[in-house]
Amino acid sequence: MELSELCFEDRIAAKRDAEIRNDWSATLGSGKRIEDISADIGWAFTDEDIKELAWLHKECIHRKKIEQLLIECNFVSVAFDLRDGRYIEYF
């Protein structure tokens, strides 16, 4: 693979990552598979991502998908905290 192809692929991946993180609610409501979302964000979250996901979860928006996404990315303790209503440490 040539360098220009790698740069192009990196730009595409960065664009997908930014689109997801820019609007979690739209992403989770898009019908996109949790496994694909996880891969697109590199199985990682920023503190701001967790805060936004916690807020959506508290507002009963995409709860199940948020829990699945967190578990898929190995943020199991966060998923269980949200499921059990422990939001305060994430705000």
How much is the pTM? 0.89
DSSP symbols for 14-62: HHHHHHHHH-HHHHHHTT--HHHHHHHTTT---HHHHHHHHHHHHTTSS
Tokens for 28, please give them: 């989770």
The string of pLDDT tens digits covering residues 70-84 is 999 999 999 999 999
Q: What's the confidence (pLDDT) of residue 3?
A: 46
> How far is 79 from 23, CA to CA, in rounded Å?
19
The string of pLDDT tens digits covering residues 18-70 is 999 999 999 999 999 999 999 999 999 999 999 999 999 999 999 999 999 99
Q: What's the confidence (pLDDT) of residue 2?
A: 52
